[in-house]
Structure 1
Amino acid sequence: MVLGGKLIGGASVLRAMRFVIIGAGRVGLRTARVLRDEGHEVTLIERDEGMIRRARSQEFTVVDGDGSKEDVLETAGIADADALGALTGDLNVNFTACMIANHHGCRTIMRIDEAYRENIYRTYADEVDEVIYPERLGAISAKNALLGGTIRAIADIAPHLQVVEHTITDEAPTNGYTVNELQLPAHATVLAFGKSGQELELPGDDLSLEVGDRLVVLADYDVLSTIRQLLIGESEREASANAGSDATSSTGGVN
């Protein structure tokens, strides 16, 4: 199982997460695919028959219905979801769904098109956890908003490569080591480093890793979970659970 990050009560927790995404269009389906590829559970809500067929053909669970209706959201599992992504092109549907999800204690991410005026944006932004502009950043921004926490995908470089920014935590086994002492998997490399509250720069070998520091890493999807274990940290139980599914991945550590 690939583990995701979420900020809960100020602490970084690594575990598989559950998401409800409204809208199986380009942004919604792409976001669902990225989340599923990282081991998370995703349920889509869609009412267009063609989009429903396309999503189901890719083996997604899809609830046929209006995402602004509470009974439809409950069918999709909103009561147990970690976050809701309202990613349709309909602002009213997105906002209504977020208000219902708020009632269920979900983190709420709402899509808004750039055509809307600033005052309208501010009205909605105050009521949800995060607003995204998919025209600018697409599925990457939606995924980051849904996950929250200490892991931030920056870009998909190729079908199997991603640039990811990680923030060092208290639990990280690499905490206190220098960049030179990192032993990342073979298919990963450090691109940039930033001290907490400072801009990113090219990494120096003698820079010490401390809580709050950021590392930008280019890595193959197959080794992302290993990198998370090194830079974010996870419990022994989670590491054991992860070992079975990542048996074919390269291993890493610190010298």
Structure 2
Amino acid sequence: MKVAIGGAGAVGRSIARELLENGHDVALIERKAENFEVDSIPAAHWVSGDACELSLLESMALQDFDVVIAATGDDKANVVLSLLAKTEFAVSRVVARVNDPRNEWLFDEAWGVDVAVSTPRMLASLVEEAVAVGDLVRLMQFRKGSASLLELTLPDDTPWGGRPVRKLELPRDAALVTILRGNRVIVPAPDEPLEGGDELLLVAVPESEDELRALLLPEAPA
């Protein structure tokens, strides 16, 4: 897979290293001389210039890339790169970094963004996921549609303990994706019994969240 990364700061370089280790072809675009460190990641193709310049992207043949990642520390630059990648070069997958959560509303399909990654929001979700037992935690929202990936840890005394997954009558537009139990990742087969402490990963629209809470917490099912 060919991946172009706009921004070769600490975040961009970290992403590049991970992708290269997984066998992908990576190009790093960087305009700041202090961040243009070819020796730090020699396996990447380094491009000197502004990732928001159409002529630079044309010289790279950006249309030949499978993924563009806008990873600069400037939200305006990330939005512009995303829009150019999608509208001018028809890149199939555009991922953008959100530096300021107040700008999240900009990072949507209208601006060419398929997936927006907000570090502050992600960290907050991880903290909530680590400490919250007995409530829904929104881990991430999918850009195509309004559905979110949700996590719920069943309390040790859950009334669902020992009951099979098939007894869960989930609301419309909600689905159980997997069950995390200790080090195990369990496919939610109909006869799989639930246990206290299980982490349930679900996909659901916001309108279904209250129904999910009422179903799974805290009263015993009928």
Please give the range of the TM-score, normalised by the shorter of the 2 chains.
Answer: 0.5 to 0.7
Asked whether 1:134 is paired with 2:119, we answer yes
- Is 2:177–2:188's contact at 8 Å kept on the other side of the alignment? no
Aligned partner of residue 200 in structure 1, secondary structure: strand
Instruction: Tell me: higher relative CO, structure 1 or 2? Use CA pairs within 8 A at least 6 residues apart.
Output: 1
Q: 1:111 aligns with which of 87, 97, 112?
A: 97
Q: State the match for 1:66 in structure 2.
A: 50
Aligned partner of residue 201 in structure 1, secondary structure: strand
Q: TM-score, normalised by structure 2?
A: 0.52
Alignment coverage as a number of residue pairs: 132
Q: Which has the larger radius of gyration?
A: 2
Asked whether 1:197 is paired with 2:176, we answer yes
**Runs of 4+ residues over 6 Å off in structure 1:** 204-208
**Residues 1-255 of structure 1: matches in 2 within 5 Å?**
17-53=1-37, 55-59=38-42, 60-103=44-87, 104-106=89-91, 107-114=93-100, 116-117=101-102, 120-127=103-110, 128-135=113-120, 197-202=176-181, 203=184
Per-residue deviation, residues 32-58 of structure 1 (Å, max 9, x unmatched): 0000000000000001112112x4442
Measure, in 1, the Cα distance between the counterparts of 2:71 and 2:188: 40
Aligned partner of residue 66 in structure 1, secondary structure: coil
Measure, in 1, the Cα distance between the counterparts of 2:187 and 2:104: 44
Could you say if the C-alpha distance between residues 200 and 101 of structure 1 is closer, same or farther in structure 2, counting changes exceeding 3 Å? same
- Is 2:178–2:187's contact at 8 Å kept on the other side of the alignment? no
Measure, in 2, the Cα distance between the counterparts of 1:91 and 1:71: 21
Could you say if the C-alpha distance between residues 113 and 200 of structure 1 is closer, same or farther in structure 2, counting changes exceeding 3 Å? same
Measure, in 2, the Cα distance between the counterparts of 1:135 and 1:22: 20
Measure, in 2, the Cα distance between the counterparts of 1:136 and 1:51: 26
Aligned partner of residue 67 in structure 1, secondary structure: coil
Per-residue deviation, residues 165-200 of structure 1 (Å, max 9, x unmatched): xxxxxxxxxxxxxxxxxxxxxxxxxxxxxxx72442
Measure, in 2, the Cα distance between the counterparts of 1:123 and 1:205: 36
Could you say if the C-alpha distance between residues 206 and 52 of structure 1 is closer, same or farther in structure 2, counting changes exceeding 3 Å? closer
Per-residue deviation, residues 1-27 of structure 1 (Å, max 9, x unmatched): xxxxxxxxxxxxxxxx00000000111
Could you say if the C-alpha distance between residues 205 and 47 of structure 1 is closer, same or farther in structure 2, counting changes exceeding 3 Å? closer
Q: State the match for 1:221 in structure 2.
A: none
1:76 deviates by 3.0
Name structure 1 gaps, 5 residues minimum: 1-16, 139-195, 209-255
**Residue type of the alignment partner of 1:36:** L
**Residue type of the alignment partner of 1:108:** V
Work out the percentage of aligned pairs sharing the same amino acid. 28
1:81 deviates by 0.3
Measure, in 1, the Cα distance between the counterparts of 2:188 and 2:72: 44
Per-residue deviation, residues 88-126 of structure 1 (Å, max 9, x unmatched): 011111111111110212111111113x42xx4223324
Q: TM-score, normalised by structure 1?
A: 0.46
Name structure 2 gaps, 5 residues minimum: 124-174, 190-222
